Amino acid sequence: MELTPRQALIVDIVKKNEPITSEQIAEKLNLTRAALRPDLSILTMSGILDARPRVGYFFSGKPARNIISEKINNIKVDEIKAVPVVIKEGSSVYDAIVTLFLEDVGTLFVVQEDGSLVGLVSRKDLLKIAIGNADIHKIPVGVIMTRMPNLITVTPEESAYDAAQKIVDHQVDALPVVKIEQEGDKIKYRVVGKVTKTTITKLFVELGKA
Amino acid sequence: MELTPRQALIVDIVKKNEPITSEQIAEKLNLTRAALRPDLSILTMSGILDARPRVGYFFSGKPARNIISEKINNIKVDEIKAVPVVIKEGSSVYDAIVTLFLEDVGTLFVVQEDGSLVGLVSRKDLLKIAIGNADIHKIPVGVIMTRMPNLITVTPEESAYDAAQKIVDHQVDALPVVKIEQEGDKIKYRVVGKVTKTTITKLFVELGKA
C-alpha cells in the first residue's frame, strides 16, 4: 500500500507517541478530528495502525501486504484445483495431440492402467516431437513424457501460494494434485486435480473483484 | 476471509450493539478480555470491524477482500510487464517454432518491417500446423497467426487486474502491451511488453510473500 505524505506522517506520530488518541494526533497536525478520520480509517483497516477502544492508536508493524499474504496462504489447493485430463501411457503422441485440442488444455497427465500417475506431457513436449522426423502415430506418449519422480506435484492440503511458488520456481505450466497411496511396499500417486497458471490467474481475478 | 464461529458471533454482536467496547463483548460471550483479544485484532486488522479509541467497535461493512482488491487494482501493467519476443511477418513457421524454443516462451508477437504489431502465434497455433501435411519451412507465420484487430491487447496504464481479467475472459495465454500511435490516418500498435499467465502467477507469489 502506498501511503500519502499525511498518512506517513500519522504513522510516524503514532510510532513515537503510542498509545495516542485521535484528538492528540489531530492537535499535532493542526487538523480537526473530522479531517483526520478518513486517513485513520485507512491506516486502521489496512492493519498498519491498531486501535484499542478507550486507549488509543498503536503502530501494529503489520503492513497491508500481510493481509493479502495471509489470505493467499489460507486458500487450499483443494478449493481451487481444476479437473485434470489424463491419457494412458501406451497412447500415441498423435492421440495425445488430438486429446489436447479436443479438451483444450495445455498439459496431459499420463497414467497407468490402474490409474496411477506416471508422467505428464506438455504442449512444448508435443511440439518438439511433432517437428521431428518421427512417426507420431507410432510413438507412445510414455516415451516422450516427463516421468515420475521428476514431476513437480502438489497435495490438496497445500496452499494456493505453495502451488504458485512451485510453478514459478520450477518453470512449469501445470502441477498434478496428487493423493499418495501405499499398496504393499509400492507408493502410488493418484491424480485428483491440477493447478495451472490458468487456475492461479482465475484465482487472482476472483480475489481482485471488489 | 473465512470467519471462525466465534469471530462470526463477535461480528454479529457488534452489528447489533455498535458502538460496543471489548469489555462489553467479553461479558456477552462470557470470556475474559485477554481471550477475546486475538479475534478482535483479526477482525480489526482485516477491516471487518472498525475500532474508535474511547468509543468502541463498529461494524465497518468492509470485508478483507476489498483491501486485496484495492491493492491488485492499483498495480499497473507498466510495473509488471515482461519482455515480449517478436518475429517478422514473413518468417517461416519453422523459424517461429525454433524461436519459441530458443527464447523459451509460449507466444510470439508478429510485427511488420516497421516494428508495428500485426498478430501473434501461440504454441497451440504452431502445434496445429506442425501435425498437418503442410511444409512448415515454406509457410510464413503471417498465414497462420491471429491477426489484428482480433488480438486482445492491454495498455501500460491498465491495471494488473484488468490484464488478468482479459486473459481469463478471452481464454488467451498472453496479451501484448501496446502503445497506440497515429501516423497520418493510420493507427499503429507498438509492442512494449507482454502480460502472460506466467506474469500474473509471479505477481501472485510476490503478493503472497510474508
Q: A64, B67: Cβ pair inside 8 Å? A: yes
Contact B191, B84 (CB under 8 A): yes
Residues carrying CATH 3.10.580.10, chain A: 75-208
Q: Mind telling me how many Å the CA of A184 is from chain B's nearest CA?
A: 38
Q: pLDDT tens, position by position, for chain A (210 residues)? A: 567 788 888 988 998 898 999 999 999 988 888 888 878 887 887 778 888 888 889 887 665 556 678 788 889 999 999 999 999 999 999 999 999 999 999 999 999 988 899 999 999 999 999 998 889 999 999 999 999 999 999 999 999 999 999 999 999 999 999 999 988 888 899 999 999 999 999 999 998 886
Contacts of B4 (CB under 8 A, 6+ apart): B39
Stretch (H or E) spanning A109: strand A107-111
Give the position of cell 510476490. B206
Q: What is the mean pLDDT of residues B101-119?
A: 95
Please spell the DSSP secondary structure of A127-172, one letter per residue.
HHHHTSSS-TTTSBHHHHSEETTSS--B-TTSBHHHHHHHHHHTT-
As a whole number of angstroms, the distance between CA B46 and CA B66 comes to: 9
A198 closest CB neighbour out of B131, B160, B197: B197
Does the CB of B51 have a partner CB in chain A at under 8 Å?
yes
Instruction: Kindly report the CATH class assigned to A75-208.
Output: alpha beta
> Residue A65 has what pLDDT?
58
Backbone torsions φ then ψ of A33, nearest 5 degrees: -65, -35
Instruction: Work out the pLDDT band at B62, boundaries 50, 70, 90.
Output: low
As a whole number of angstroms, the distance between CA A164 and CA A167 comes to: 5
For this complex, say whether ipTM is above 0.90. no
Instruction: Kindly report the CATH class assigned to B73-208.
Output: alpha beta
Residues carrying CATH 1.10.10.10, chain B: 5-62
Q: Residue ranges of the alpha helices (H) in B46-92?
A: 64-74, 77-80
Does the CB of A4 have a partner CB in chain B at under 8 Å?
no
DSSP A186: E
Residues carrying CATH 3.10.580.10, chain B: 73-208
As a whole number of angstroms, the distance between CA B153 and CA B194 comes to: 9
Q: How many CB atoms lie within 10 A of CB A184?
A: 5
Contacts of B191 (CB under 8 A, 6+ apart): B84, B86, B109, B111, B115, B117, B176, B177, B178
- pLDDT tens digits for range B159-180: 999 999 999 999 999 999 999 9
The CATH fold assigned to A5-72 is: Arc Repressor Mutant, subunit A (1.10.10)
Give the position of cell 510453478. A167
Averaged pLDDT of chain B = 90
Residues in chain A within 8 Å Cβ distance of B199: none
- Tell me which architecture the domain covering B5-62 has in CATH: Orthogonal Bundle (1.10)
Q: Residue ranges of the alpha helices (H) in A3-155?
A: 5-17, 22-29, 33-45, 64-74, 77-80, 93-103, 123-130, 141-144
A124 closest CB neighbour out of B45, B53, B123: B123
Angle, alpha carbons A39-A41-A42 (nearest 5°)? 65
As a whole number of angstroms, the distance between CA A139 and CA A129 comes to: 10
> Residue A101 has what pLDDT?
96
> Residue A73 has what pLDDT?
85
